[in-house]
C-alpha cells in the first residue's frame, strides 16, 4: 500500500500548519477502490511533543464527516463550520478517515445537521462494529505506529466496519457531484450558479446540503474560497488585492474580514508566517 502523494497536495491547502511545527509525521493513504464515492482518504499522524509544550493543528475542514480512532478516544465527527483545531501533546498517534460528502448521512442514519460542530463516540454511530473497529485499530498500532503493515491492518479494520454501509445512494451521488463542482470551480461565487448547474431550486439545494453535510451552500462556497486563499497566500507571492480579486471578492477588506473571522489571523499575518 502506497501513500497517496498526489492527493496530499490537494488536501494540504486545508491544513494551516505552522511551518515551524515539527511535532509529527503525517502518513496519508487513498481509500480502497471499493469505497469510491464513500470514503476519500486515510490519514495517520504519529507525534512526539516535548513535555510542557503543545502543537495545535488547525484545519479549514472539507465538507466531510470524519471517523478518528486514537489511543484514548474513538469518535465520529460532523463538519466544523469554523476552524477545526486539535492540540497535540506528548507522544501519540491517530488513524482517521475522511468520508465523502455522501457518507455521513448513511453512517449516522440521521441528518448531518445534528452533528455540525460536534463529535460523538464512534459506538453511537456504528454500534458494536464501532467497538470492534476501535479494538482492531489499537491492536494494529500498538507495537509500531510508524509501520506500514500496522497502517494496512488499521485501514482494513475501517474497511470491514464501514463496508456494510455501502452502496452510496442516488442523493449521495448527487451531493458528491455538487461538492466536487464547487471545490473545482474558482469562478463559482454565488449559490445561484450551483442551482443552475444542477437544476435545483435554492430551497431544494438548501435542504439537500443541510441534510447531507449539515451546513449551507453558501458555506461550501466560502470554505473553498478560504482554502484557496490559504493556498495562494502560502505559495503565490501575489498581493492581497490580487488574491481577493482572483477569488471573486468585491474588495480586499471584504476578503480580509472573511479570512480573519475564520482563521484568527489576517491574510497579511498568515502570508508573513509562511514567507520563505
Which cell numbers hold the place of 135?
A: 479494538
CA distance 85 to 20: 17
What is the per-residue pLDDT for 7? 43
Buried b (16+ CB within 10 A) or exposed e, 160-170: ebbeebeebee
φ, ψ of residue 112 to 5 degrees: the values are -70, -15
Nearest Cα residue to 175 out of 201, 203, 202, 210? 210
Helix axes 202-212, 217-235, angle to 10 degrees: 70
CB 222 within 8 A of CB 258: yes
pLDDT at 235: 81
pLDDT at residue 4 is higher than 70: no
Segments making up each domain of the chain, as ranges:
5-165, 170-273
pLDDT surpasses 80 at 226: yes
Mean pLDDT of 158-186: 97
Q: Would you state the pLDDT for residue 198? A: 98
Residue-wise pLDDT tens digits, 251-271: 999 999 999 999 999 999 999
C-alpha cell at position 195: 442551482
170-273: CATH superfamily: Homeodomain-like (1.10.10.60)
Assess whether pLDDT exceeds 60 at residue 1.
Answer: no
pLDDT-based confidence at 9, cuts 50/70/90? low
Residues 6+ apart with CB under 8 A from 234: 270, 271, 274
Q: Could you give the dihedral angle defined by the CA atoms of residues 172, 175, 177 and 180, in that order, rounded to the nearest 10 degrees?
A: -130
What pLDDT, on the 0 to 100 scale, is given for residue 139? 98
CA distance 232 to 222: 15
Measured in whole angstroms, the distance separating CA 187 from the mean position of its chain's CA atoms is 22
Q: Which three cell numbers stand for residue 176?
A: 458528491
Mean pLDDT of 176-204: 97
- Grid cell listed for 221: 462556497
Q: Examine the pLDDT at 10 and tell me if it is beyond 70.
A: no
Supply the pTM of this predicted model. 0.93
| Predicted confidence band of residue 155 (pLDDT cuts 50, 70, 90) | very high
Query: 101 burial class (0-12, 13-18, 19+ CB within 10 angstroms)?
Result: buried
Strands, sheet with 119-121, edge to edge from the N-terminal-most edge strand: 24-30, 39-48, 91-99, 66-70, 74-77, 119-121
Percentage of residues in the chain with pLDDT exceeding 70? 96
pLDDT, average across residues 17-31: 92
The residue-averaged pLDDT of 47-68 equals 96
Question: Which grid cell sits at 213?
Answer: 453535510
DSSP codes, 230-244: HHHHHHT---HHHHH
Q: What is the pLDDT of residue 6?
A: 40
Average pLDDT score over residue span 127-144: 98
In the structure, what pLDDT confidence band is assigned to residue 5 with cuts at 50, 70 and 90? very low
CB 239 within 8 A of CB 257: no
Amino acid at each position: 500500500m502506497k501513500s497517496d502523494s498526489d492527493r496530499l497536495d490537494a488536501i494540504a491547502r486545508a491544513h494551516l500548519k505552522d511551518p515551524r511545527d515539527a511535532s509529527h509525521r503525517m502518513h496519508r493513504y487513498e481509500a480502497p477502490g471499493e469505497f469510491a464515492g464513500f470514503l476519500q482518504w486515510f490519514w495517520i499522524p504519529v507525534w512526539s511533543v516535548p513535555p510542557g509544550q503543545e502543537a495545535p493543528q488547525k484545519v479549514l475542514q472539507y465538507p466531510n464527516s470524519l471517523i478518528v480512532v486514537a489511543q484514548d478516544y474513538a469518535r465520529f465527527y460532523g463538519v466544523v463550520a469554523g476552524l477545526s483545531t486539535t492540540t497535540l501533546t506528548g507522544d501519540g498517534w491517530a488513524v482517521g478517515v475522511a468520508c465523502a460528502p455522501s457518507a455521513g448521512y448513511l453512517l449516522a442514519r440521521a441528518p448531518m445537521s445534528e452533528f455540525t460542530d460536534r463529535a460523538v463516540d464512534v459506538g453511537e454511530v456504528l454500534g458494536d462494529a464501532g467497538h470492534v473497529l476501535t479494538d482492531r485499530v489499537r491492536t494494529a498500532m500498538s507495537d509500531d505506529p510508524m509501520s506500514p503493515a500496522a497502517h494496512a491492518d488499521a485501514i482494513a479494520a475501517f474497511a470491514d466496519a464501514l463496508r456494510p454501509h455501502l452502496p452510496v445512494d442516488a442523493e449521495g451521488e448527487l451531493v458528491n457531484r455538487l461538492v466536487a463542482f464547487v471545490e473545482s470551480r474558482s469562478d463559482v461565487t454565488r449559490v445561484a450558479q450551483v442551482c443552475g448547474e444542477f437544476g435545483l431550486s435554492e430551497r431544494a439545494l438548501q435542504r439537500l446540503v443541510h441534510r447531507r453535510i449539515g451546513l449551507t451552500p453558501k458555506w461550501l462556497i466560502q470554505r473553498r474560497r478560504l482554502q484557496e486563499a490559504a493556498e495562494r497566500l502560502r505559495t503565490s507571492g501575489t498581493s492581497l488585492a490580487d488574491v481577493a480579486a482572483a477569488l471573486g471578492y468585491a474588495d480586499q477588506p471584504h476578503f480580509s474580514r472573511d479570512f480573519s473571522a475564520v482563521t484568527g489571523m489576517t491574510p497579511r499575518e498568515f502570508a508573513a508566517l509562511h514567507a520563505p
